[in-house]
Amino acid sequence: MESINMTSSNYEFVYCIYDGTAVKIGKARDVKSRVKMLQTGNPNRLVPLFAAAFPCGMAGSVERSMLECFEDRKMVGEWLNVSPELVLKKLMVTAFSVIGTRFIAYSDEWAKRVDSAILYEKRARSGSAVDR
């Protein structure tokens, strides 16, 4: 995974946060600050799992697309009853259609999952044999 400046003015992030039971998909220029702000209104510990960095101006449409995809899983507000793995899979498919997208993982465990998902999507798009 490529390292990028988390607060770069060249990128906006579509992120996935997990509170132990629900997932929030959102967009922000600074994910860590956004998590801190959301934490004040949530009794559960919020854990940022991963984010995709899109060139400025594109994150809003990606976020809307992601939320529409999981509309039937909506709980309260923007919190969803969906697995983070499913969110990652959908974000991968969306992100691979946007040139300049970069991924960030917030733990070693999720870095491995993100790297694996990137490899899977690259192979699927190249027509290579992929275990399905």
* Within-domain flag for 6: no
The residue written with tokens 């801190």 in the block is 36
For residue 132, give the nearest of 113, 123, 69, 30 by alpha carbon: 123
Structural domain boundaries, residue 119: 11-125
By the 8 A CB rule, do 44 and 92 touch?
no
pLDDT tier, 43 (very low <50, low <70, confident <90, very high otherwise): very high
Predicted confidence band at 5 (pLDDT cuts at 50, 70, 90)? low
Using the 8-state DSSP alphabet, how is residue 46 labeled?
P
Domain-located, residue 132: no
Per-residue pLDDT at 22: 95
Domain count for the chain: 1
